[in-house]
Structure 1
Amino acid sequence: MGKYWHCEVSEDLRELIFMFVKQKAEDAEPSRGTNQWRPPFAELPSHRSIVQQLINSLNYLNRGAIAGAIAAAMAPVGLDSGPPLSSGESIYEEFEFELSIIVWHIATEVWYYLDQLQFQTDFRQNCRMIKRVSRYMMYLLEEQPFMLSVEDISDRISFMHIRKIAGKERIQLPSRADKITSNKIKAEACKRLLEKYPHISYSNREELVIYFAMKLVRKVNHKSQTLEDKWEVIKNQWMEMLGYAARKCKGNEHAQQLRRGGELLTHVWLLLCHFGLTDHYTIERYDEIKSDEEE
């Protein structure tokens, strides 16, 4: 386990998260108590097709190893009763979520350094906050996977190996490089990475992950009419993944974190409780606080 350190969460980032969760709660409120009610953050975020294609390709590369693991989880009871199917789906969802974090993290780094020269001051700050959430989620996956309810899979994708592969595209930074020069060099490295993976390769799993991350970059770039549109998509995806992870993490894990001051993820979970968006815990003052805000 790596070393831990505390980083200050900016007021802007706290407000970004609060306003996103608040809006999701308000949008979902009309269906509460009906058959249509589905709490926000209960399901994997959208934009899943790229990662699902990656899983299919990894399955091909591993000669059915992933499918075999899912089948093994469902085997003891059979598919006709609910629990085994749910168990198999859970393993698939955990693996899909793990890959989603890795793929979207790689893509976010590439987007940030390729787009940075077009950022205006305020917009740059927003994009920097999104990048921080991306890096935070990657930190959790690498250092505290239990917070993401990710199983201890011995055959996990090696992010360290991915970094080594991607690092081959980097140019050595000058010893006295200023921040602008450094960012330009990083942008050039990202550009080379994007150009290097236009075709699929089954040589190893880590290169396959990079390929699909670059495919995601190109797909979102193509569908976005403006820079603001693109970063709105990226922001929404990370906010959804942050909320999904907070909701999915077990309550006792959050409680343990609170004893040490609490991970950001735990504070997001408390925010979900405040808005009544968790299954087991609800802070019964949502209507009061909502009324106070409107006065």
Structure 2
Amino acid sequence: MEMMSMLNALGSSWTFVFLSTTRCHWLQYAALCNQRWDPLRRAVVYLHHLVRVGGGSRYSSRRWSHSMGQYNMLHLCTGSDSALTRPLLGSLAKVVGLGLTELWNKEYYSWDINMADHIKVCISEHIKNLYSDGSVNSLGMLKNKWGEEPLVRRDLFGGIFEDSLGVDFQECIIIWHIGSAIFLAKSQQAKEEDTLLDVEAIKAISNYMMFLLVKQPDTLPGRSQNRLYELTCTKLVKTRRSTHRRQNMNLRATLKNLFSLHDDPDSNSRATDREELAKELYDEYEGKSFSYDAPRLPLVAELAKELLRMEKEGSMVNSVRLVLDVWRDILFYAASNCSRKFYAEKLSNGGELTTIVWLVAEHLYQLFVKSLIKRLKKDNDLA
């Protein structure tokens, strides 16, 4: 263990930074210019592929992976429920029970995506706008409630939009996750070429926040909403079963599905299933009041209806851009209100996206404070 610890230190990115900035030019020349450090680092990485460390988990880089975890409730609830097509490990988990079915679903129906450049740009732009518009307080946190700033800026805060933000933060994620899916499934504006990048960003951030809610709930502020999540999933499955038309699978596809460890979210059939379920939810709950077995779905349908109404009536507000801004605000709120202990633990293996958003926000906050102090000092000198 001591040997592995020493090799970790010698082959880490921190060592490279030290060697790059050291004033000992002979050491920098010997390690970097003569390319002696690179073979050492490659050997360390190779050893980590052979040796398990840290309680059975494989070594992961200290650099951020540039990926986003994804989890979609509609994707989960449109999965196969037939014993003939369900993966073997999923069937085994269902037989054994003891919570293994829930654990299997979390792993099987989650996936990772590489973070596209336009998503990075739209997140960083949102953070800069928050500071330039004065939407952040002296502690570097949002002055308003999560998701509220984009609505207030457009003079839309109130009514269904205010109710959709929920009493609790995780409740808001569930409502906007399903509401966004319904809106995008029925919106004509979302299918136009000039909005495709924004739609992709909405889906990525929405699925990422659900990924955190389901797989890492302790990383989110507020109370856990497991009960609301379970009730909603149960109702989604019932809605899907009542209208689902069984699709015939050939032998090759059936065998592939039986031995798979992750569902394929990018297949055309699965994307169609998600879109159909979204439309069915809208048709079933539009205009309905509170329901105990699905307490938030009528609210979800009302939210989607209002977004579609704004689009149909040619409102000055771009509905797709509004949804994207709300999700960016939700992401920023989660990052700025997350436990610092979690960030400290995550930094050892590169961190989550929320870790990166928090670091960027903290950096911009320091620049904002410095510019504010400089401006106040200048005003005092003039006075």
TM range (shorter): 0.5 to 0.7
TM-score normalised over the length of structure 1: 0.67
Counterpart among 175, 178, 190 of residue 106 in structure 1: 178
| CA distance 1:257–1:165, shift in 2 (3 Å) | farther
Gaps of 5+ in 2: 1-102, 149-156, 254-265, 372-383
For residues 222 and 284 of structure 1, the distance between their equivalents in structure 2, rounded to whole angstroms, comes to 39
Looking at structure 2, the residues matched to 114 and 238 of structure 1 have their Cα atoms a distance apart, in angstroms, of 19
8 Å contact kept, 2:168–2:223: no
CA-to-partner distance for each residue in 1:150-183, whole Å, 9 max, x for gaps? Answer: 3346754424324324433444456489966765
Q: Does 1:265 align with 2:354?
A: yes
Match of residue 210 from structure 1: 297
Distance 1:227 1:283, change over 3 A: closer
Letter in 1 for 2:195: F
Q: Structure 1's 137 and 182: CA in aligned 2 closer, same or farther, altered over 3 A?
A: closer
Structure 1, 172-181 or 109-118: larger mean CA deviation: 172-181
Q: Cα RMSD over matched residues?
A: 3.7
2:143 counterpart of 1:16: no
Displacement of 1:137 in angstroms is 0.6
1:141 alignment partner, one of 196, 199, 213: 213
Query: TM-score when scaled to structure 2?
Result: 0.53
Q: Identity percentage over the alignment?
A: 21
Q: How many residues align?
A: 239
Counterpart code for 2:285: Y
Tell me the SS of whatever aligns to 1:7: strand
Contact 1:171 1:185 in 2 (8 A): no
SS at match of 2:142: coil
Question: Which residue does 1:58 correspond to in 2?
Answer: none
Question: C-alpha deviations, 1:166-217, integer Å up to 9, x for none?
Answer: 4334444564899667655644443332111124355424x22111100100
Distance of aligned partners of 1:119 and 1:252 in 2 relative to their CA distance in 1, 3 Å threshold? same
Alpha-carbon shift at residue 286 of structure 1 (Å): 7.2
Cα deviation for residue 108 of structure 1 reads 1.0
Matches within 5 A, 1:1-295: 2-3=106-107, 6-28=112-134, 39-40=141-142, 43-46=145-148, 47=157, 49-50=159-160, 53=163, 95-115=167-187, 119-152=191-224, 155-158=227-230, 159-168=232-241, 169-173=243-247, 175=249, 183=271, 186-205=274-293, 207-224=294-311, 225=314, 229-276=318-365, 282=366
Q: Which amino acid aligns with 1:124?
A: L
